[in-house]
Chain A
Amino acid sequence: MPKDSGIGASSKRREDIRFLTGTGNYTDDINLNGQAYVAFLRSDVAHGTLNGVDSSAAAGMPGVVRIFTGADFEGVGGLPCGWQVTDRHGQPMQEPAHPVLAQGKVRHVGDPIAAVVAETAAQARDAADAINADITELPAVVDMSAALAEGSPKVHDDLTSNLCYDWGFVEENKDAVAAAIDGAHHVTTLELVNNRLVANPMEPRVAVGDYAAHNGESTLYTTSQNPHVIRLLMGAFVLGIPEHKLRVVAPDVGGGFGSKIFHYAEEAFCTFAAKAIKRPVKWTSTRSEAFITDAHGRDHVTKIELALDAEGKFLALRTDTLANMGAYLSTFSTSVPTWLHGTLMAGNYTTPLIYVNVKAVFTNTVPVDAYRGAGRPEATFQLERVIDKAAREMGIDPVELRRRNFIQPDQFPYATPVAVEYDTGNYDATMDKALALADWDGFEARAAESAANGKWRGRGVNSYIEACGIAPSALVGQLGARAGLYESATVRVNATGGLVVMTGSHSHGQGHETAFPQVIAEMIGIDESMVEIVHGDTANTPMGMGTYGSRSIAVGGSAMVRAAEKIINKAKKIAAHLMEASDADVELANGEFTVAGTDKSVAWGDVCLAAYVPHNYPLEDIEPGLEETAFYDPANFTYPAGAYICEVEVDPGTGQVSIERFTAADDFGNVINPMIVEGQVHGGLGQGIGQALLENCVYDENGQLVSGSFMDYAMPRADDLPNFTVDHSCQTPCTHNPLGVKGCGEAGAIGSPPAVVNAVVDALQRGGKDVTHIDMPLSPSRVWSAMNS
């Protein structure tokens, strides 16, 4: 019987009501009294010396309130990077300044030069267009290899080169890996590109700054996944505002996918300008502006080598990657190709020796940072592509080759050679489930049918693992993180028994307002409707790190459970007093406290009332009130894993690929709301298939963004995607968090690209073409060219 409430129920989302009736409160829906509007003048060249800014003509235009240039920000800090990577030689990464408005140089198309604040948005835009920036154009650094070549122009003149860091992991394994590869029975080598992407949440970024002269408090309304992180970074590092004088609000946010984690210049600008002109200041990004200012994702170029013995056992793995950082270090950019990537190179396999080298490179492009999956899709793509190629070269079935190397259920906890310890998993189980759901055995009949229609059918399999529930603070601190990665929750019980949970997690589509109450309702045995979730405002939530890395339920949910446990313990003491029993004998179920072995009982609501009207109350032992806070710092990452199968048809005449079937069997541990979990997987699959077939962020050799709008950047549309078959019934609960959950937000985007590419390569092979790899996106022209070269 499906449950109809509590943990495991597909409770309908309560937030849907406002979104479906047009009553959501997104940042652009916020308009403050006396608000002025900002428009930015942005660099239209990729690289240049900024000789001066002439805003005299613009200053006199209608509605202009004030014009700001880099000079106004000389005494202000730059945008900080939140993760310091140490290179192979023990040296810190090269870390350039990142000014709010350009100082002396522009470094990518879109780099902000000046800002006009005016009475209307149109007046601000008109005046910004009338500002004259005197720029001497310099040669643009676009290609990563060229950027590292001797004599390349430098993106940052004060750095020694365009190399941010040269990272080796695990450095001590380097020679042993080389020896194992040199002596192996078989080595499969693959060079591949993980295409640069633009996150493109449907809501463009918005910032509204406000300043209250009467108490000196600044407020920023912003499209953020983590308002406390923005408050900390902007307050402490950029504007020098103490946190008690700075409030950051991220109300309804229309998707993030990583791109709204980071602290952006426009947020600092609006906060700064509001104080300077003593009026609220609003900036709303256009989509065109989003393409040249939102941090991009992926953009790795990799060579991977996999050494195998005669039976197909993996002996060693080595990768060499160039990772694009863009022109500046975005907030978490440096962690993505390193600790979020190298640590996942073991995949689901027992490979004993691994060495990962990553060179992070500055170029005259938009900064690159985390995008759904962040490092883990890049790891999975390399690994699952090279395994497929190895299977073909050695004549071993690709499923069988994976199975021969899977970590077995009795090997958990399993310490990989790349620093992480998987707590639990069962990779054969998800593989079996995926094969059954995909009707793997019925493939040949479908292939024959496709052939009869003049199409080549192919299938691709993939097994992925990811590290979620980010992250144990002490561990990431050792690895260079400049923040703790715990999460927080305050549970406030009202006198009449209803609860409010104030969480540091943030929902921008994930449905926390529905799923989090399911947990509380289950713990106390009350109706979900008695629980309300508050998030997104630093003024009324405890310090939290926000939502990314599939961490909300695993870390934020755990904090909520811990706070609720404190509540229940205290409530039991009150109940014991009311029932004249020992609190050790009090039990809570179905919203009622009882004393074991007696018929005594007291309702949840009566205990809550007693806590706030303490007439008959153990005041000598406990305080009145019922409100508790918990901070939860995870003991380990969580490790969702699964098997994905893609079946495609390729049109041999045009190279057009169509996805005929897509099956995802995931192990997310325990699941709070299956409906929401499945929706998360669907969305991830949409983005992963988008990466594999459609999306590509392209710069020309001058650093101009060629794919700068939805006309040129191919977003997946409804008829590009199939119906998905998704399953999460294989569950090995996480062993170290109280809910046994692992997180599900990124899996789809991690597991799907290699499944798609493996399937297309398979289709071409079955069609008699000796194609072993095609770089994403697999557009008809790329597929056609590959099959006809």
Chain B
Amino acid sequence: MTSVSMTVNGKPVSGDVEGRTLLSSFLRDGQGLTGTHVGCDTSQCGACVVHVNGQAVKSCTMFAAEAAGAEVTTIEGMANADGSLGTIQQAFQDYHGLQCGFCTPGMVMSAAALLAENPSPSEAEVRHYLEGNICRCTGYHNIVRAIMAASGQEVPAVAAE
């Protein structure tokens, strides 16, 4: 066991980890930040995406020890200061971009990374960027629309009738 410290959602945290402890388990089990989900064991699904020093990272694919000293942001850190939903989160609700919610934290974190890089992506760019995030519920249709809307682009409203 070694001790590791990092900043998570703006707060300094530390904990004892084994060499093999993944960042995802450090966050979930060590810090009780269970918003970060684990959907696979082959780095394929993206349910575990967090930001490490501003980069989208699959937290199941990084050792906790590797994140020592880093600034980590998880889904728990994405709401506005007053607790209301952030722009991307709000767009996911407005455009019904989630059903069971299990892929959702990873989707929101990936979307945030995409929009930081490319503030006005085309639909094809959104779809391509999400290749590392699997959703089994939505068929992606409304996730793509939510992200387009969050980028400030015109998206027709959901189920208008």
Contact = CB atoms under 8 A, between A and B. Distances in A.
Interface of A: 2, 10, 12-13, 15-24, 26, 28-29, 31, 122, 200-204, 252-255, 257, 286-288, 508-511, 674-680, 682-687, 709-711, 715-719, 721, 723-724, 729, 748
Contacts of B141: 682, 721, 723-724
A718 B92 contact: no
Given A202-B37, A257-B136, A718-B127, 10 more contacts: A13-B96, A202-B135, A253-B100, A287-B41, A510-B99, A682-B142, A717-B130, A718-B133, A719-B130, A723-B123
Contacts of B134: 202, 710, 715, 717
Given A202-B134, A710-B42, A21 B85 contact: yes
A5 B135 CA distance: 29
Nearest to B126: A718
Contacts of B159: 10, 674-675, 677-678
Nearest to B105: A22
B142 to A, nearest CB: 6
Contacts of B131: 717-719
Given A710-B45, A718-B140, A23 B35 contact: yes
Contacts of B11: none
Instruction: Give the interface SS of chain A, mostly helix, strand, loop or mixed.
Output: loop
A18 B104 CA distance: 11
A710 B41 CA distance: 9
B103 A202 contact: yes
Contacts of B14: none
Nearest to B21: A122
A729 B135 CA distance: 27
Contact of B160 (A2, A24, A717): A2
Contacts of A286: 40-41
Contact of B100 (A20, A31, A201, A709): A201
B52 interface: no
Contacts of A716: 139-140
Contacts of A723: 123, 141, 144
A718 B130 contact: yes
The listed residue with most A CB atoms (<10 A of its CB), out of B18, B36, B136, B142, is B136
The listed residue with most A CB atoms (<10 A of its CB), out of B47, B100, B159, is B100
Nearest to B79: A21
B76 A21 contact: yes
Contacts, number: 196
The 4 closest A-B pairs by CB, nearest first: A22-B35, A19-B101, A254-B102, A686-B139
A288 B41 contact: yes
B99 A509 contact: yes
Given A16-B98, A20-B108, A254 B124 contact: no
B93 interface: yes
A282 B100 CA distance: 22
Contacts of A684: 139
16 contacts: A13-B93, A16-B98, A20-B75, A20-B98, A28-B28, A29-B34, A201-B136, A202-B47, A254-B102, A508-B100, A509-B137, A678-B159, A683-B137, A719-B131, A721-B139, A729-B161
B81 interface: no
A729 B159 CA distance: 11
B64 interface: no
B40 A679 contact: no
B118 interface: no
Nearest to B83: A21
Contacts of A200: 136
A21 B77 CA distance: 8
B33 interface: yes
B40 A255 contact: no
A255 B123 CA distance: 26
A677 B161 CA distance: 12
B93 A16 contact: yes
A287 B104 contact: no
A257 B100 CA distance: 11
A568 to B, nearest CB: 28
Interface in B122-161: 123-124, 126-128, 130-131, 133-144, 158-161
Nearest to B76: A22
A202 B96 contact: no
Interface in B19-72: 20, 28-29, 33-42, 44-45, 47
Contacts of B135: 202, 718
B140 A21 contact: no
Contacts of B35: 21-24
B140 A709 contact: no
Contacts of B103: 202
Interface residues of B, number: 60
A21 B89 contact: yes
B94 A683 contact: no
Given A509-B137, A678-B158, A682-B139, A19 B44 contact: no
Interface string B102-120: 1111001000000000000
A17 B98 CA distance: 11
B41 A21 contact: no
The listed residue with most B CB atoms (<10 A of its CB), out of A16, A20, A287, is A20
Contacts of A254: 37, 39, 100-102
A710 B133 CA distance: 11
A250 to B, nearest CB: 12
Given A20-B108, A287-B42, A288-B41, A685 B139 contact: yes
A342 to B, nearest CB: 28
Contacts of A252: 100-101
Given A22-B34, A29-B34, A682 B104 contact: no
A789 to B, nearest CB: 32
B99 to A, nearest CB: 4
A710 B136 CA distance: 12
Contacts of A13: 93, 96, 98
Nearest to A677: B159
A676 B138 CA distance: 10
Contacts of A724: 139, 141
Contacts of A676: 96
B99 A679 contact: yes
A200 B100 CA distance: 13
A648 B44 CA distance: 27
Contacts of B92: 16, 20
B39 A122 contact: no
A254 B34 CA distance: 13
B130 to A, nearest CB: 4
Contacts of B98: 13, 16, 19-20
Nearest to B78: A21
B11 to A, nearest CB: 15
A680 B139 CA distance: 9
B37 A203 contact: yes
B8 to A, nearest CB: 12
A285 B51 CA distance: 25
A508 B98 CA distance: 11
Contacts of A711: 42, 44
B145 to A, nearest CB: 8
Contact of A287 (B36, B40, B105): B40
A257 B133 CA distance: 19
Nearest to A8: B161
A204 B42 contact: no
Given A674-B161, A682-B139, A509 B101 contact: yes
A677 B41 CA distance: 32
Contact of B104 (A19, A201, A674): A19
A203 B144 contact: no
A287 to B, nearest CB: 4
Given A717-B130, A718-B140, A724-B139, A255 B34 contact: no
A711 B44 CA distance: 7
The listed residue with most A CB atoms (<10 A of its CB), out of B34, B36, B37, B137, is B137
A15 B102 CA distance: 12
A272 to B, nearest CB: 25
Nearest to A254: B102
A185 to B, nearest CB: 41
A710 B44 contact: yes
